[in-house]
Amino acid sequence: MKDLLLSVGCLLVLIVPWGIYEKYSFDSIDSYKSIIDSRVIPSIEREDWDTAAAAFDFIAADWDSYKKISAFFVDTESINEVDSVVSKVYYYIRLEDASNSAGEAAYLKYRFNFLHENESPSPSNIF
């Protein structure tokens, strides 16, 4: 019985922080996707580069803190892939390249969806 309680306790120590992280992650990623859809891509299409840069600056700054926390829960390959796309969008907006920045912003939204699916506490992600 003692071993069972110890096993359950260890499992809870792993699952509870992951559940808290998932809530934080869902809110952050949902915010990023919303900003991309409502502000970044429309600003790029209008070639309003100041608004696009201001909107994306929030994502870029918040992503830096998000990825430090995510390193404990998600594999680094997924984080690095999203980090690469964030950098591309950031510089394409600075270069005022409409086609590349809009395309990479749409791809970034897709990568955020993929990242969230890979970090949710499911049996395939736990084991």
Q: Which residue has the tokens 């699916």?
A: 117
Which pTM does this prediction carry? 0.82
The encoded tokens of residue 112 equal 């955020």
Domain boundaries of the chain, sorted by first residue: 32-126
Q: What is the pLDDT along the chain (127 residues), one digit of tens a residue?
A: 888 888 888 888 888 888 888 888 889 999 999 999 999 999 999 999 999 999 999 999 999 999 888 888 788 888 899 999 999 999 999 999 999 999 999 999 999 988 877 766 566 655 5
101 contacts: CB under 8 Å, gap ≥ 6: 44, 52, 89, 92, 93, 95
Say if residues 62 and 28 touch (Cβ distance below 8 Å): yes
| 46 three-class SS | coil
The b-or-e profile of 54-75 (16+ CB within 10 A means b, else e) is ebbeebeeebeebbeebeebbe
- CATH architecture of the domain with range 32-126: Up-down Bundle (1.20)
- What are the DSSP E strand ranges found in 6-98? none
